[in-house]
């Protein structure tokens, strides 16, 4: 049995007792969270979220690119969110390489160089500040209520980045 098979069995058990099918599309808290995809970071557990509470957008590093701005623009304009929370974390793999390192490795292993950038970074706080600035500068996001944090994977403490 594979891990996916186990997940499917869990999904069947979840569906058997699911009673929240009447939730509206817009998130109840009016919040969108952009967080790293790291398995040690669970935004729902960290923030005490339930289904329907918030939009959670995850990617490697929790970076803010045009793709995240696209999702956030839909979240704000069509689904009424007014706040954005960014979450990076200690021990992030994005701190361990450069975009050029990854591009060269992928090219060596596959014969093709990626057309996209990994958006690796060297400092958590600096990247959070730059991401907040990128969001505030976007003409597509009417709400500029944006806060950024660093989650400590060893203590579960959340530290706000000014």
Least confident of 22-26, 70-74, 132-136: 22-26
Q: How many other CB atoms are found less than 10 A from the CB of residue 63?
A: 22
Read off the pLDDT of residues 21-60 as tens digits, 9 standing for 90 and up: 999 999 999 999 999 999 999 999 999 999 999 999 999 9
pLDDT digits (tens, 9 = 90+) for 85-133: 999 999 999 999 999 999 999 999 999 999 999 999 999 999 999 999 9
Dist. CA 89–CA 157, nearest whole Å: 10
Task: Give me the pLDDT at residue 1, please.
Answer: 86
- Domain positions in the chain are 23-161
Residue 67 pLDDT grade (very low, low, confident, very high; cuts 50, 70, 90): very high
DSSP H or E segment with residue 118: none
Which of 109, 112, 85, 113 has the alpha carbon at shortest distance from 99?
113
Query: Are 35 and 56 within 8 A, CB to CB?
Result: yes
The encoded tokens of residue 48 equal 């005490």
- Alpha helices of the chain — where are they, by DSSP H? 3-17, 43-47, 66-79, 99-110, 124-137
CA–CA gap between residue 65 and residue 115 (Å, rounded): 14
Under CATH, which architecture does the 23-161 domain have?
3-Layer(aba) Sandwich (3.40)
86 is written with which tokens? 């960014």
Which neighbouring-strand residues pair with 31?
A: 54, 83
């Amino acid at each position: 049995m594979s891990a996916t098979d186990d997940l499917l069995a869990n999904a069947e058990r979840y569906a058997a007792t699911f009673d929240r099918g009447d939730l509206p599309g817009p998130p109840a808290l009016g919040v969108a969270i952009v967080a790293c995809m790291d398995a040690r970071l669970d935004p729902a557990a960290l923030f005490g979220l339930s289904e329907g509470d918030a939009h959670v957008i995850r990617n490697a590093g929790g970076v803010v690119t045009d793709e995240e701005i696209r999702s956030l623009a839909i979240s704000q304009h069509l689904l009424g969110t007014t706040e954005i929370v960014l979450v990076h974390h200690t021990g992030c793999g994005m701190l361990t390489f450069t975009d050029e390192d990854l591009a060269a490795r992928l090219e060596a292993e596959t014969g093709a160089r990626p057309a996209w950038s990994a958006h690796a970074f060297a400092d958590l706080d600096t990247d959070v500040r730059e991401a907040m600035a990128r969001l505030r500068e976007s003409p597509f996001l009417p709400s500029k209520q944006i806060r950024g944090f660093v989650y400590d994977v060893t203590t579960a403490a959340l530290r706000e980045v000014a």
